[in-house]
Structure 1
């Protein structure tokens, strides 16, 4: 379905597992992994001609956390007229975290772990060009 995924998470084990899940399931053929929001920002700015088709970003990271990255990304996306769906990945089910993120223009909030079932739901949403917010937990 998707060609390239940008995966932003500071846990190396999570990255390894999710890279395998994403490619083996056929969700995407390529996964670009970055350890924090700052690295993801630099990657996007340097690779504008070949941007990812979808972004998964962890909520809690050092350097630039998920909410800070999303604020920057939304401004950049609007300024440069770029449309990339963003899904937040979080081990937190806190109402505070969910409310903080749901006010942004992200495509969905996923309580970890990311699963093949969640990837199927995301694929269905984008195949149907649905604009509804996905909350997967």
Structure 2
């Protein structure tokens, strides 16, 4: 029996993309639970709140982060998340998932230690399977 990822997180305001990823994750049974935030501010608020409880079951093992969102974009989320990530006491693998193919964005993202990889939308079933299965 393969262990599954307990909790994964999508931070993205694109409803079609989020629904597609949810369907793939559910159909392929890639993780037990999936949480979704529509912008970086809501996600950051969540992570800052669990700093006080440090309930490891509420901390995702994987984050898929979009760059272009309202309220707080992915870059601003990353800047703030990097400051608190180590205090969470759990390894979190973060992937940028963006429609941007701008080499400047890709290089900037890959230059951030917290970022595992940069994926260009649309993400394929194979991409997701490889990420989720690599993490377990």
For normalisation by structure 2, the TM-score amounts to: 0.84
TM-score (norm 1): 0.84
Shift of residue 41, structure 1, vs aligned partner = 0.8
SS at match of 1:107: strand
Shift of residue 98 of structure 1?
Answer: 0.3
How is 1:61-72 mapped onto 2 (pairs within 5 angstroms)?
Answer: 61-72=69-80
> 2: distance between equivalents of 1:46 and 1:22?
26
- CA deviation after TM superposition for structure 1 residue 16, in Å: 1.3
- Do structure 1's residue 18 and structure 2's residue 21 form an aligned pair? yes
Deviation at 1:15, TM superposition (A): 1.3
Q: Distance in 2 between matches of 1:30 and 1:119?
A: 15
Higher RCO structure, 1 or 2 (CA under 8 Å, sep 6+): 2
The count of aligned residue pairs is 127
Shift of the 29–79 alpha-carbon distance from structure 1 to 2, 3 Å rule, reads closer
1:1-137 maps to which residues of 2 (within 5 A)? 1-47=4-50, 48-49=54-55, 50-105=58-113, 106-127=115-136
- In structure 2, what is the Cα distance between the partners aligned to 1:91 and 1:65? 14
- Show CA shifts across 1:15-73 (max 9, x none): 11111111211111211111000011112223441211110010111111111111111
The answer for unaligned runs of 5 or more in structure 1 is: 128-137
Structure 2 CA distance for aligned equivalents of residues 34 and 120 of structure 1? 22
| SS of equivalent to 2:119 | strand
Helix, strand or coil: the match of 2:7?
A: strand
CA RMSD of aligned residues (A): 1.6
